[in-house]
């Protein structure tokens, strides 16, 4: 049985900021406007650009280009270190604007959001969504900054709205409906579709699918059994026809990842970084009132031709939950003890198996040591809340060569205020 | 070229009511004996440091742009960075 294109009107709007971080820097510093600008998490020649301005992109600089190479590609290239506070502020302003249009609106990441207008017809009173989109563009210029522009796509589901927003960058606006959907597919390549990367493309090629139209015409059975070999095939079949498949899940993991400024194979130095990361994760768990049973340690090593793998990870589900920094650290050390001794360049800690934290509500008769640790953790958190992150930290952490400053996360916004 | 400065400076600013909030706009900056008049306003954004909320203003004057901070407790303005157009 085949399913036709969703006949519903396009009522989902996807809005994303053009080259978000670079444009925010160009907004802040008027002298950077019209110039090739890149943003990096670390200011050195080996660092990579996490965003490039349109002027830099026009000269071949893209996400992932090394700063040294970007300087050669784009004369006059200006590289800046990411400024998370600035991007979070722009994010909060965008969120304010979006939520003023519909109760079903949310940010998908730092720089993109969704407004769902389903059921809003009595309020819109026949006003076309393209008119609303033009108003949003103007409000972004008025309320965030006169140099800021957004791409807006409108579609029957969130995925098609995202496709629409990607079509005419920068400052684009496009609506995809049941009448032009196949025309849109005809003018795109597979990797132009959101969530289809080169690896996915290869998988599609192996199944004889070379264009979005061919993907659209592939049966649900083939997509599920042969191409994606999972429920994803069913989801792709639906989303290509304009049916909603994206469901928001609650928080399932809390973690921290970090690329080391100073790579190390020194267990003492690494233990310091591990402790710092565990403290950060503990702060995040406390903020959401959670504890975690599971812990995963994920490490990446510098290239070594004699070794088959450059990544090592280990996870363990414990019987009891942990939420304090010292508890997480003890567990992380247990996992780290089984790691091969190599030069580490990346450290990731993820807690999972989350559940509401058990707080000690009354002093224990038998476990006074535990109560003391809770009081200490609480006191440290209070000092850090007042004076800033890691204002109070163990001496070993302070003396570390790796500062572990907060960096702007790719995509994720769950730890934002 | 970007220069990290971190020096207290004198700033002439206006405080105006705007949509039930107060909008602060710097107009004139005095730094190392020289006056710089705001020509293009860039961005205002706050930054939380502990329980303090620092107000940050970015703007340009001629071929120089500035990043200044206002500490709401001490009311001291600090020039954090200067960018010179090459």
State the ipTM, two decimals: 0.93
pLDDT in the model for residue A400:
67
CA distance B33 to chain A (A): 23
Q: Which residues of B touch A417 (CB under 8 A)?
A: 48
Where residue A367 falls among pLDDT bands split at 50, 70, 90? low
- Best of B1, B3, B21, B42 to substitute, by most chain A Cβ atoms within 10 angstroms, is B42
Place of tokens 């079509």: A167
pLDDT, tens digit, for every residue of A381-415? 888 888 877 777 777 666 666 666 665 554 455 55
Query: Which range is least confidently modeled, A106-115, A121-130, A247-256?
Result: A247-256
pLDDT in the model for residue A416:
56
Determine the average pLDDT of the residues in A352-380. Answer: 75
Determine the average pLDDT of the residues in A65-69. Answer: 89
pLDDT exceeds cutoff 90 at A349:
yes
Determine the average pLDDT of the residues in A316-338. Answer: 91
CA distance A69 to chain B (A): 19
pLDDT in the model for residue A141:
94
Q: Which residues of B touch A80 (CB under 8 A)?
A: 2
pLDDT in the model for residue A258:
83
Determine the average pLDDT of the residues in B21-33. Answer: 91
Distance CA A203, CA A208 (A): 9
Cα torsion A349, A355, A360, A365 to 10°: value is: -90
List Cα–Cα distances, A118 to A113, A153, A214, A240, A310, in angstroms. Answer: 16, 15, 30, 19, 47
Where residue B41 falls among pLDDT bands split at 50, 70, 90? very high
pLDDT in the model for residue A149:
94
Contact between B50 and A86 using a beta-carbon 8 Å cutoff: no
pLDDT in the model for residue B19:
76
- B40, closest residue in chain A (CA to CA): A30
pLDDT exceeds cutoff 70 at A1:
no
Angle, alpha carbons A20-A347-A263 (nearest 5°): 100
Determine the average pLDDT of the residues in B42-70. Answer: 93
Residues 6+ apart with CB under 8 A from A355: A290, A291, A292, A293, A321
pLDDT in the model for residue A89:
93
Note whether B51 contacts A: Cβ–Cβ < 8 A: yes
The secondary structure of residue A191, as a DSSP letter, is G
User: Kind and range of the H or E element at A71?
Assistant: helix A67-73
Note whether B76 contacts A: Cβ–Cβ < 8 A: no
pLDDT exceeds cutoff 70 at A309:
yes
Spatial contact of A227 and A218, defined as CB atoms under 8 Å apart: yes
Distance CA A30, CA A145 (A): 11
Determine the average pLDDT of the residues in A148-154. Answer: 96
pLDDT in the model for residue B65:
95
pLDDT in the model for residue A45:
66
Helix (H, G, I), strand (E, B) or coil at A77: coil
pLDDT in the model for residue A211:
95
The structure tokens listed for A329 are 């650290």
User: Kind and range of the H or E element at A345?
Assistant: strand A344-356
- B82, closest residue in chain A (CA to CA): A29
Q: Which residues of A340-365 are buried (b: 16+ CB within 10 A; e: fewer)?
A: eebebbbbbbbbeebeebeeeeeeee
pLDDT in the model for residue A305:
82
CA-based end-to-end distance of chain B: 7
Q: Which residues of A71-81 are buried (b: 16+ CB within 10 A; e: fewer)?
A: bebbeebbbbe
pLDDT exceeds cutoff 60 at A360:
no
pLDDT exceeds cutoff 70 at A99:
yes
Q: Residue A284: name the closest of A256, A246, A259, A304 by CA.
A: A256
pLDDT exceeds cutoff 80 at A361:
no
Distance CA A390, CA A407 (A): 15
pLDDT exceeds cutoff 90 at A257:
no
pLDDT in the model for residue A48:
86
pLDDT in the model for residue A299:
93
Instruction: Give the nearest partner residue to B42 out of A30, A386, A387, using CB atoms.
Output: A30
- B49, closest residue in chain A (CA to CA): A388
Strand partners, B29: B11, B36
Determine the average pLDDT of the residues in A271-296. Answer: 89
Angle, alpha carbons A296-A300-A306 (nearest 5°): 130
Determine the average pLDDT of the residues in A37-64. Answer: 87
Distance CA B8, CA B6 (A): 7
The structure tokens listed for A246 are 């994206």
The sign one gets for the Cα dihedral A372, A373, A376, A381 is negative
Strand partners, A176: none
Residues 6+ apart with CB under 8 A from A154: A10, A11, A12, A13, A14, A129, A130, A133, A161, A164, A174, A175, A176
Q: Provide long-range contacts, Cβ within 8 A and 24+ apart, for A386-389.
A: A386/B50, A386/B51, A387/B50, A387/B51, A388/B49, A388/B50, A389/A280, A389/A283
- B43, closest residue in chain A (CA to CA): A28
Determine the average pLDDT of the residues in A291-313. Answer: 89
DSSP string, A115-171: EE-TT-HHHHTT--HHHHHHHHHHHHHHHT-TT--EEEEEESSHHHHHHHHTTS-SS
Q: Which residues of B touch A384 (CB under 8 A)?
A: 50
List Cα–Cα distances, A222 to A133, A240, A406, in angstroms. Answer: 38, 14, 44
pLDDT in the model for residue A169:
85
Helix (H, G, I), strand (E, B) or coil at B53: strand
Region of A230 (left: φ > 0; alpha: ψ -120 to 50; beta: rest) is beta
pLDDT in the model for residue A107:
86
Contact between B49 and A388 using a beta-carbon 8 Å cutoff: yes
Instruction: Give the nearest partner residue to B42 out of A28, A384, A388, using CB atoms.
Output: A28
Chain A residue set in contact with B, beta carbons under 8 Å? 24, 27-32, 76, 80, 85-86, 89-90, 145, 384-388, 391, 417
- A29, closest residue in chain B (CA to CA): B42
Contact between A30 and B83 using a beta-carbon 8 Å cutoff: no
- Tell me which of A92 and A395 has the higher pLDDT: A92
Note whether B60 contacts A: Cβ–Cβ < 8 A: yes
Q: Which residues of A touch B58 (CB under 8 A)?
A: 28-29
pLDDT in the model for residue A234:
92
Spatial contact of B59 and B26, defined as CB atoms under 8 Å apart: yes
CB atoms within 10 A of CB B3: 10
User: Kind and range of the H or E element at A235?
Assistant: helix A231-239
CA distance A212 to chain B (A): 41
Contact between A31 and B43 using a beta-carbon 8 Å cutoff: no
pLDDT in the model for residue A280:
87
pLDDT in the model for residue B32:
92
Q: Which residues of A touch B86 (CB under 8 A)?
A: 76
DSSP string, A347-395: EEEEEEEEEEPPP--S--SS-HHHHHHHHHHHHHHHHHHHH-TTSS--H
Note whether B73 contacts A: Cβ–Cβ < 8 A: no
Q: What is the mean pLDDT of chain A?
A: 87
Where residue A288 falls among pLDDT bands split at 50, 70, 90? confident
Distance CA A48, CA B35 (A): 38
Note whether B3 contacts A: Cβ–Cβ < 8 A: no
* Backbone torsions φ then ψ of B41, nearest 5 degrees: -80, 135
- A26, closest residue in chain B (CA to CA): B42
Q: Which residues of B touch A90 (CB under 8 A)?
A: 45
pLDDT in the model for residue A365:
64
The structure tokens listed for A90 are 């722009």
- Tell me which of A145 and B20 has the higher pLDDT: A145
Contact between A89 and B49 using a beta-carbon 8 Å cutoff: no
CA-based end-to-end distance of chain A: 47
Distance CA B81, CA B22 (A): 25
- A27, closest residue in chain B (CA to CA): B42
Sheet with A49-52: list strands edge to edge.
Answer: A49-52, A37-40, A78-81
């Amino acid at each position: 049985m085949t399913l036709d294109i969703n006949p519903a009107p396009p009522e989902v709007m996807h809005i994303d900021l053009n080259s978000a971080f670079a444009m925010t820097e160009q907004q802040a510093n008027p002298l950077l406007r019209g110039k090739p600008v890149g943003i990096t998490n670390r200011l050195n020649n080996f660092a990579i650009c996490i965003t490039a301005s349109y002027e830099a992109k026009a000269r071949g600089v893209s996400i992932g280009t090394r700063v040294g190479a970007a300087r050669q590609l784009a004369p006059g290239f200006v590289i800046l270190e990411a400024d998370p506070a600035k991007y979070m502020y722009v994010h909060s302003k965008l969120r304010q604007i979006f939520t003023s249009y519909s109760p079903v609106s949310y940010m998908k990441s730092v720089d993109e959001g969704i407004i769902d207008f389903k059921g809003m017809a009595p309020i819109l009173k026949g006003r076309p969504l393209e008119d609303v989109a033009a108003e949003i563009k103007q409000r972004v210029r008025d309320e965030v900054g006169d140099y800021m522009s957004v791409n807006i796509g409108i579609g029957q589901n969130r995925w098609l709205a995202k496709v629409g927003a990607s079509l005419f960058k920068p400052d684009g606006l496009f609506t995809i409906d049941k009448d032009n959907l196949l025309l849109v597919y005809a003018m795109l390549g597979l990797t132009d579709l959101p969530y289809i990367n080169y690896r996915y493309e290869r998988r599609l090629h192996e199944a004889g699918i070379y264009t979005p139209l061919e993907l659209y015409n592939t049966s649900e059975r083939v997509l599920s059994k042969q191409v994606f070999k999972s429920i994803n095939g069913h989801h792709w079949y639906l989303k290509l026809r304009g049916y909603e498949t994206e469901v928001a899940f609650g928080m399932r993991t809390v973690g921290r990842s970090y690329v080391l400024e100073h790579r190390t194979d020194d267990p003492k130095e690494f233990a310091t970084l591990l402790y710092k990361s565990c403290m950060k994760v503990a702060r995040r768990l406390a903020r959401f009132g959670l504890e975690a049973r599971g812990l995963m340690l994920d490490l990446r090593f510098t290239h070594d031709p004699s070794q088959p793998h450059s990544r090592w990870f280990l996870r363990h589900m414990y019987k009891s939950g942990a939420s304090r920094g010292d508890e997480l650290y003890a567990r992380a050390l247990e996992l780290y003890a089984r790691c091969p001794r190599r030069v580490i360049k990346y450290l990731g800690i993820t807690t999972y198996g989350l559940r509401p934290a058990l707080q000690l509500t009354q002093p224990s008769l038998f476990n006074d040591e535990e109560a003391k640790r809770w009081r200490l953790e609480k006191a440290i958190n209070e000092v850090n809340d007042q004076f800033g992150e890691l204002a109070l930290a163990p001496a070993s952490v302070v003396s570390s060569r790796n500062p572990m400053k907060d960096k702007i996360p790719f995509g994720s916004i769950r730890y934002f205020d | 070229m970007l220069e990290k400065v971190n020096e207290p400076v004198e700033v002439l600013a206006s405080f105006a009511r705007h949509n039930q909030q107060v909008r602060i706009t710097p107009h004139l900056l005095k730094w190392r004996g020289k006056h710089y008049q705001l020509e293009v306003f860039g961005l205002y954004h706050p930054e939380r440091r502990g329980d303090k909320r620092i107000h940050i203003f970015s703007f340009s004057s001629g071929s120089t742009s500035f990043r200044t901070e206002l500490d709401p407790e001490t009311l001291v303005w600090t020039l954090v960075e200067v960018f010179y157009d090459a």
